[in-house]
Structure 1
Amino acid sequence: MFSGLALLALLGSSVPANGLESGAPAAGAKTVACANTRDDDEKINSAVAASADGDEIVIDGPCLIDGTIRLRGQRSYRGQSRSGTVIQQADGANLDAMLASDSYLDNAPLTGDPVTLRSLNLIANRAGNPNAKDALVLRSWGTVVEDMEILQATRHGIRLTNLSANGTPLNNTQVNGRIAANHVVESGGRGIFVEDTRNSVTDWHLLDNWIAGAGSDGIGMDNAAGWNIHGNHVYDVGATAITAERLFGSMIGNNYIENFATTGVRISVQGETASTITANRIFKLTGGSGVFLTVRVNYGTGNLAVTGNTIRGNGAGTGLDYQNGQGTGLVVASTGNLVTEVTTPRATGPGVTVTAGV
């Protein structure tokens, strides 16, 4: 799903030369030794400013910051380990973001170049920063974020957005990224938020993350077109475990959901192609009502395969909820789903056709 501008971005940019796993610094590495003082962000930003394309910035913590760390593209950023490299927001800093893509900070109309982040522990310290916003803000295509621990964001733990700091939207696309194997805990808003006011942030992988204790959605996505949302464990959230809007050739599978306030998985589908919802485990064992899996259509006729999901409540709620919404119809191949201990196993609205598939 590339626009012309996205293809130009792909042809005009090279993949970072050293996307290395944790270990000894590469030849082009710059190591920053933090002192756990409030000027550590200045040390890190100085190293980033002095770096070249393809360099690896190795951060040796603990670090204390009261300014945003700028993520320049075509570079990788790595800690020694999640326990060894802790970056904490100082009391009263109230940052818009602890770490942010350069295109976000520069209010650029185009997506930033790829960055890679690994093995860092971000403590946003929302108790000491009640007016802060997000821990990590990404506005760079082809970006990899993995093996991160992100704790206590005042708003969102990870925010992937098409908007800049002053609200400038992207004129091109922001595709082909990977957010995997991260632990995001106790965010005041969403654990992971995909913000897309246009149709820019598509075709990413969101894999094998642990998201706990979010104040609203565990995973909240304005645009899930072309996304693979797989293997995430989302639990104890204040609203919906996974909200995924605008499915278009998307897959939501093998996610483990426990104890949501209102909805387990809430999705909307577009009227072209088809998407798959499979092998999710959606449980609410602590009592209370809710909807475990709900579907609606944004326009046209939505097509969806819903197979092999296991749903278990505590005596209340609706298991599967298929609704046409604003579309002209919804065709669902719904088979092999196990729905137990809810009030209504399946609700089907007007304009919805449910089959066993072919």
Structure 2
Amino acid sequence: MAGRTAWLALVAVLGAVLVSGQAQAEERTNLLCANNTGDDERINAATAASSPGDEIVLRGTCLIDRTVRLAGDRTYRGLSRSGTVIRQAPGANLDAMLASDSYLDNVPWTGAPVTLRSLTLFADRANNPRARDGLVLRSWQAVVEDVVVRESNRHGIRVTNLSANRTALTTTQVNGRITGSHIAGSGGRGVHVEDTGNAVTDWQLLDNWVEDSGADGIGLDNAAGWLIRGNHVYGVGGVAVWAERLFGSSITDNYLEDFTTSGIRVSVQGEAASTVSGNRVFKANGGSGTFVETRVNYGVGNLAVVGNTIRGNGSGVGLDFRGPNLVVTSTGNLVTGVDTPRRVGPGVSLSAGS
């Protein structure tokens, strides 16, 4: 009986230690912001005290005048879009509000996976005229979900192979996902993919809203292997979706309206084939423009342009296929309200497919 009593006491002690340790870990990784400029230090301290696999939960309004460091193998979660708001303090003029650790450390390798979800970044460009980007990602397998980015002075979300001092990656930065997010009022691009090499490939950009960008809505220096699907882009000052270097890429089922210059602008690499399908590309905001335009970078470009719905306001070019050496299947596209439904340049081989 004495042995059993001692064993039960030991179990109770171990349980208490476990509960205490769990409570300490939860206290360390759950942060109620104070809405003052010490919040960035508190968030960064919570990150420094965390362990790989931890979820850092932010609550309330967080006022920052320094960049929040996103460490790899962590999740950063808010309570909701309105329940957690990270605000850039007036006059902070940050290079980035939140950024991957590999970006800040200027190392030549990509950061470990990081997840950000269910919060709002308010960049306050009116009071930060020298600021740059809202969120900067330089981590592979990154996930951004249910995030609002408002009023960035430059780009809302920037995915880049370069660090803060422009050190380029010598590794790849693949397999990320940006989904269900809302990027509004950026001075530059809503989503900007910067790739001076061939590192930022094979991501997914799904079901996002991008509005009122000063430049392009979505712009990719390198769209190789990307899936760009289900996004709603509207009221932008340049191109709705501008995707360079298509290589096994897909741009599908997006709703693009009231752009300035082009709805979809792509360039195609040789050696692979890509798809532009099922997009609704409308322009009711006046002026001319090109709704879908293509060109080839090298080799023979192969592209399927199928089932898109184009609606203009009386002028512009619906489909503009430019070579040289472009093999394009164009079928099932409904093109109305433009003065040139389809323009085919020299060196373009056009068919209805098999």
TM-score by shorter chain over 0.5: yes
Q: Distance in 1 between matches of 2:28 and 2:220?
A: 34
Match of 2:29, SS state, is strand
Q: Distance in 2 between matches of 1:299 and 1:320?
A: 21
Cα distance per residue 1:333-354 (max 9 Å; x no partner): 1000000010100000000011
Match of residue 305 from structure 1: 304
CA, structure 1 residues 29+210, in 2 after alignment: closer, same or farther (shift >3 Å)?
farther
Superposition pairs of residues 84-163 of structure 1, within 5 angstroms: 84-163=83-162
Cα distance per residue 1:291-331 (max 9 Å; x no partner): 0000000001100000000000000000000001xx4x101
Structure 2 gaps, min length 5: 1-24
Report the alpha carbon displacement of residue 28 of structure 1 after superposing the two structures with TM. Answer: 9.4
Cα distance per residue 1:198-229 (max 9 Å; x no partner): 00000000000000000000001000000000
Match of residue 344 from structure 1: 340
Q: Distance in 1 between matches of 2:175 and 2:98?
A: 20
Superposition pairs of residues 218-257 of structure 1, within 5 angstroms: 218-257=217-256
CA contact (8 A) 1:331 1:354 kept: yes
Match of 1:306, SS state, is strand
CA contact (8 A) 2:250 2:276 kept: yes
Match of 2:126, SS state, is helix
Q: Distance in 2 between matches of 1:155 and 1:233?
A: 20
Report the alpha carbon displacement of residue 287 of structure 1 after superposing the two structures with TM. Answer: 1.5
CA contact (8 A) 1:74 1:113 kept: yes
Cα distance per residue 1:264-288 (max 9 Å; x no partner): 0000000111001000000001211
Superposition pairs of residues 137-286 of structure 1, within 5 angstroms: 137-286=136-285
Match of 1:149, SS state, is strand
CA contact (8 A) 2:184 2:212 kept: yes
Report the alpha carbon displacement of residue 80 of structure 1 after superposing the two structures with TM. Answer: 0.6
Cα distance per residue 1:31-83 (max 9 Å; x no partner): 01111001100000000000000000000121110000000000000001100
Match of residue 349 from structure 2: 353
Superposition pairs of residues 22-41 of structure 1, within 5 angstroms: 30-41=29-40
Report the alpha carbon displacement of residue 120 of structure 1 after superposing the two structures with TM. Answer: 1.0
Match of 1:260, SS state, is coil
CA contact (8 A) 2:28 2:46 kept: no
Q: Distance in 2 between matches of 1:293 and 1:218?
A: 15
Match of 2:241, SS state, is strand
Q: Distance in 1 between matches of 2:28 and 2:276?
A: 42
Q: Normalised by the size of structure 2, how large is the TM-score?
A: 0.92
Higher helix share: 2
CA contact (8 A) 1:40 1:64 kept: yes
Q: Which structure has the larger Rg?
A: 2
Identity among equivalent positions (%) equals 66
Q: How large is the RMSD of aligned CA atoms in angstroms?
A: 1.0
Q: Aligned partner of 2:198: which letter? A: N
Q: Distance in 2 between matches of 1:235 and 1:189?
A: 14
Cα distance per residue 1:162-195 (max 9 Å; x no partner): 0000000000100001000000000000000000
Match of 1:154, SS state, is coil
Q: Confirm or deny that 1:315 pairs with 2:314.
A: yes
CA contact (8 A) 2:252 2:277 kept: yes
Number of aligned residue pairs: give it.
330
Structure 1 gaps, min length 5: 1-25
Q: Distance in 2 between matches of 1:319 and 1:291?
A: 6
Q: Distance in 2 between matches of 1:47 and 1:32?
A: 8
Q: Which runs of 4+ in 1 moved over 3 A?
A: 26-29
Report the alpha carbon displacement of residue 114 of structure 1 after superposing the two structures with TM. Answer: 0.2
Q: Distance in 1 between matches of 2:315 and 2:38?
A: 53
